[in-house]
Amino acid sequence: MKQTVTEKGTQDGTGTATAGQVPTKAMEIGILKQLVGLGGYFADFFGEDLDKMVENITNDFPIELGTRFHDAIDKVGEMMADCRRSASERIHSICERLVGTEQENVAAEVLGRTEVIRIKQRNRIMVSWDEVQYLLEVIDGKEVLEW
């Protein structure tokens, strides 16, 4: 069945979709096929995935599920997670080098007092009296005051 797209929506013989109206599956599929059939940017990007998108609409799945677009989004998400993890590891590494120096307070601001104490323990660096008091307050469940 041929569909035409107008400013008011889509007409496919079964009715007209206007702004605010929920389109039928058939209307969505028809519009996708028409967009791919017209060529252009949409067809270039989504053309190879048209059959999968039609299947997804038919089965009430997210339209992008199993498409190249979906796979690309997953890869970008993985890359972002890797970047965050790498940046976090680098920041932690830099801050570890500050522990035991005059700039230790910077590490404490970034990593927190507890992590600074853990680093000191791992590296056999003596903890200060204030850090011992902090640990005792944590153990006792008291509200911990900032340094």
Per-residue pLDDT tens digits for 123-141 = 899 999 999 999 888 888 8
Asked if pLDDT for residue 59 goes beyond 90, the answer is: yes
Confidence label for 52 from pLDDT (cuts 50, 70 and 90): very high
Confidence label for 4 from pLDDT (cuts 50, 70 and 90): low
For residues 33 and 76, membership in a common domain is answered with no
Residue 147 lies in a domain: no
For the entire predicted model, the pTM comes to 0.49
For residues 73 and 21, membership in a common domain is answered with no
Question: What is each CA distance from 92 to 8, 53, 82, 95, in whole angstroms?
Answer: 56, 44, 15, 5
Confidence label for 19 from pLDDT (cuts 50, 70 and 90): confident
For residues 74 and 119, membership in a common domain is answered with yes
Number of domains observed in the structure of the chain: 2
Asked if pLDDT for residue 16 goes beyond 80, the answer is: no
d(CA 25, CA 37): 18
Asked if pLDDT for residue 65 goes beyond 70, the answer is: yes
Query: In the predicted model, what is the mean pLDDT of residues 64-77?
Result: 90
For residues 92 and 135, membership in a common domain is answered with yes
pLDDT of amino acid 100:
85
Asked if pLDDT for residue 11 goes beyond 60, the answer is: no
For residues 61 and 75, membership in a common domain is answered with no
Residue 145 lies in a domain: no
For residues 129 and 104, membership in a common domain is answered with yes
Residue 125 lies in a domain: yes
Burial class (CB in 10 A: 0-12, 13-18, 19+), 27: buried
Residue 123 lies in a domain: yes
Q: Which of 65, 80, 96 represents a domain boundary (last residue)?
A: 65
Side-chain-facing half-sphere of 44: CA atoms under 13 Å: 2
Confidence label for 89 from pLDDT (cuts 50, 70 and 90): very high
Determine which of 1-5, 43-47, 80-84, 102-106 has the lowest per-residue pLDDT on average. Answer: 1-5
Could you tell me the residue range of the domain that residue 86 belongs to?
69-140
